[in-house]
């Protein structure tokens, strides 16, 4: 191995040591090796011990194969001109089949890994979210509730954060509800909201709902 290393140094050849049994760490060369081995195996299927007889043909086919990463063939990139040689349909077809199969296998593996990663992140996000989230309160048909104001325009920032009273008319999926306004107070007549934006209506404070600390969490202090 030292003699070969010296030869590479003398010829200005950059040599890379590969890791046996771990193809993924060897990069693009391992992808090329997989194609070469597969094509040689198919060409020498009648007599596997004579695989070496086809090395030159396979090497030539590889050097003439267009590569997307360099946008040309390896031969043309190295020599600067196209190789003039007789076409070898058998080698060409086999190499293209292997390239396509390898591409499809790698794509399936990438999609599989992406799916696993998405599920992992979703699980972590759900776990983190649930640590800060309390169980949604459940309501029944005809319950009176206050609903959170979700739209704030000019001059509305100082108004109550909640509207109501509203009566629940329908229970829907994912803790959402259809509600109907019972008075002429501010807010839509019919709307859909979620338990996150609802709270039970304080019946003993209907008249002062707009400034009620129980409804919107604020307290007004009037100084004389």
Task: Give the residue numbers spanning the domain of 56.
Answer: 2-115
11 & 70 share domain: yes
10 & 102 share domain: yes
Number of domains in the chain: 2
14 & 76 share domain: yes
Residues with Cβ within 8 Å of 162's Cβ and at least 6 positions away in sequence, in order, are 146, 147, 148, 149, 199, 209, 215, 216
Q: Is 122 inside any structural domain?
A: no
Q: Is 120 inside any structural domain?
A: no
Q: Is 78 inside any structural domain?
A: yes
- What does the pLDDT look like over 143-192, one tens digit per residue? 999 999 887 666 666 678 889 899 999 999 888 999 999 988 888 899 99
pLDDT score of 141 more than 90: yes
Q: Determine the pLDDT at residue 214.
A: 41
111 & 150 share domain: no
Backbone φ and ψ for 49, nearest 5 degrees, come out as -70, -15
107 & 150 share domain: no
- Outline where DSSP puts E strands in 43-123: none
Q: Determine the pLDDT at residue 38.
A: 85
Instruction: Lowest mean pLDDT of 7-11, 38-42, 69-73, 96-100, name the range.
Output: 96-100
pLDDT score of 207 more than 80: no
Residues with Cβ within 8 Å of 166's Cβ and at least 6 positions away in sequence, in order, are 144, 145, 146, 147, 179, 180, 181, 182, 187, 191, 201
Q: Is 175 inside any structural domain?
A: yes
Q: Determine the pLDDT at residue 136.
A: 84
Residues with Cβ within 8 Å of 5's Cβ and at least 6 positions away in sequence, in order, are 15
CATH code for the domain in which residue 198 is found: 2.30.30
Backbone φ and ψ for 91, nearest 5 degrees, come out as -65, -45
Q: Is 62 inside any structural domain?
A: yes
């Amino acid at each position: 191995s030292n003699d070969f290393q010296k030869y590479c140094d003398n010829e200005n050849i950059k040599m890379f040591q590969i890791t046996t049994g771990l193809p993924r760490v060897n990069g693009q060369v391992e992808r090329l090796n997989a194609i070469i081995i597969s094509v040689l195996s198919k060409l020498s299927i009648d007599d596997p011990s004579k695989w070496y007889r086809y090395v030159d043909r396979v090497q030539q086919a590889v050097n003439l194969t267009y590569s997307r990463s360099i946008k040309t063939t390896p031969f043309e990139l190295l020599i600067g001109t196209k190789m003039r040689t007789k076409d070898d349909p058998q080698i060409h077809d086999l190499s293209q089949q292997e390239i396509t199969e390898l591409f499809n296998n790698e794509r399936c593996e990438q999609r599989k890994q992406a799916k696993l990663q998405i599920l992992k992140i979703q699980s972590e996000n759900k776990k983190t979210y649930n640590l800060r989230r309390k169980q949604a309160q459940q309501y029944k048909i005809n319950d009176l509730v206050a609903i959170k104001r979700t739209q704030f325009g000019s001059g509305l920032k100082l108004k109550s954060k909640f509207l109501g009273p509203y009566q629940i008319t329908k229970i829907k999926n994912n803790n959402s509800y259809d509600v109907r306004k019972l008075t002429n107070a501010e807010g839509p007549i019919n709307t859909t909201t979620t338990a996150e934006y609802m709270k039970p209506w304080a019946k003993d404070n209907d008249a002062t709902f707009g400034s009620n600390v129980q409804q919107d969490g604020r307290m007004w202090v009037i100084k004389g």
